[in-house]
């Protein structure tokens, strides 16, 4: 359950339950309420996910951000 505090004169309670299967409230880092140009309201929820375990697949890529060339990249397949 997420509850927003606000100073809007309407005093409408802003309380939402999370029904997303793998987003526990403890994982939520930021919540934003915004209205688009068509007057539709949205809630944006930013949450932390568990990093996948690293597995070396033997493929490597080198990237060089240069001055005269914007980007140089090399892929090496073993």
Residues in contact with 44: Cβ distance below 8 Å, sequence separation at least 6, in sequence order: 30, 31, 32, 33, 34
Residue 13 lies in a domain: yes
Q: Is the pTM of this model over 0.85?
A: no
Report pLDDT digits (tens) over 24-50. 667 888 888 888 899 887 888 888 888
Residues in contact with 60: Cβ distance below 8 Å, sequence separation at least 6, in sequence order: 75, 76
Are 71 and 78 contacting, i.e. CB atoms less than 8 angstroms apart?
no
Residue 14 lies in a domain: yes
Residue 36 lies in a domain: yes
Residue 72 lies in a domain: no
Distances (CA, A) of 13 to 16, 18, 25, 68: 9, 16, 18, 56
Domain count, the chain: 1
pLDDT of residue 21: 63
Please say if the pLDDT value at position 77 is more than 60.
Answer: yes
Residue 65 lies in a domain: no
Q: How is residue 47 annotated by DSSP?
A: E
Residue 52 lies in a domain: no
Q: Which domain range does residue 14 map to?
A: 2-47
């Amino acid at each position: 359950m997420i509850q927003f505090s606000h100073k809007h004169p309407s005093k409408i309670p802003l309380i939402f339950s999370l029904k997303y299967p793998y987003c526990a409230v403890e994982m939520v880092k930021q919540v934003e309420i915004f209205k688009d140009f068509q007057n539709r309201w949205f809630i944006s929820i930013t949450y932390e996910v568990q990093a996948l375990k690293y597995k070396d697949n033997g493929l490597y890529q080198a990237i060089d951000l240069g001055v005269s060339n914007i980007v140089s990249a090399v892929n090496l397949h073993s």
